[in-house]
Structure 1
Amino acid sequence: MANHKSALKRIRNSETKRLRNRYQFRTTRNAIKKLKGSTDKKEAEKLFPEVTSMIDKLAKNNVIHDNKADRLKSQIARHVATL
């Protein structure tokens, strides 16, 4: 157990950030699955900028690595192009 006030605050902040990161990452993963599962080109093209933006925000906040973000964007771009 923490002995300092600052350590207790750090524990509270860390838990809050962890939950927020989990929520944002889960939401983004669901959006990616929806886009990859899409067979309609118009719907996929509509979703593409939204999903790309979500991925960029995760990378900017260090929830995911920059290379992973680039890889995910490349995969979904390829999927939309092949529809």
Structure 2
Amino acid sequence: METPRHLHGVYPCGLQEEKLQSPAVFPKDREGGGSAIPNTRSAARQLRKSLRRRRRNDLRRSAIRYWRKQILKLISEGNREEALRIFPNYQKAVDKAASHGAIHKNKADRLKARMWRRITAT
């Protein structure tokens, strides 16, 4: 039986082929086989949700890295006042990542404490 025209490129779970091009979906084959292609609609939905969450968490963690680099650059230049001025932005990024689960709460506290010590030590 021929596949209906509107179903070409659609997997058994109904997920479109184009949406599965992420490297997170197609890892290198491991021993024992296995496939990252979801078999059910609920598995496809979970895959999409996990990819969305991963992108959001990556953005939250990259915001932490951005503000950390800015502060460390200011500290190395000896500009303590400016580093103190942008420290709340760093705190906000760290707290937001912790509240959404991108990093652990204890790690957030540790990051803020270490950065505060570095700023005030200069």
Task: Tell whether the structures are fold-level matches, with TM greater than 0.5.
Answer: yes
State the structure with more CA Rg: 2
What SS does the aligned partner of 1:63 have?
Answer: coil
The within-5 A match list for 1:2-13 is 2-13=38-49
Q: Percent same amino acid at aligned positions?
A: 33
For residue 64 of structure 1, what is the aligned residue in structure 2?
103
Amino acid at match of 1:47: I
For residue 17 of structure 1, what is the aligned residue in structure 2?
53
Superposition deviation, residue 45 in structure 1: 1.0
Q: Does 1:32 align with 2:71?
A: no
Unaligned stretches of 5+ residues in structure 2: 1-36
Moved over 4 A (4+): none
User: What is the total number of aligned residue pairs between the two structures?
Assistant: 83
Amino acid at match of 1:12: R
What SS does the aligned partner of 1:9 have?
Answer: helix
TM-score, normalization by structure 2 = 0.63
- How far, CA to CA, are the matches of 1:23 and 1:60 in structure 2? 14
TM-score, normalization by structure 1 = 0.89
Superposition deviation, residue 27 in structure 1: 2.1
Q: Which one scores higher on RCO, CA 8 angstroms, separation ≥ 6?
A: 1
What SS does the aligned partner of 1:2 have?
Answer: coil
Unaligned stretches of 5+ residues in structure 1: none
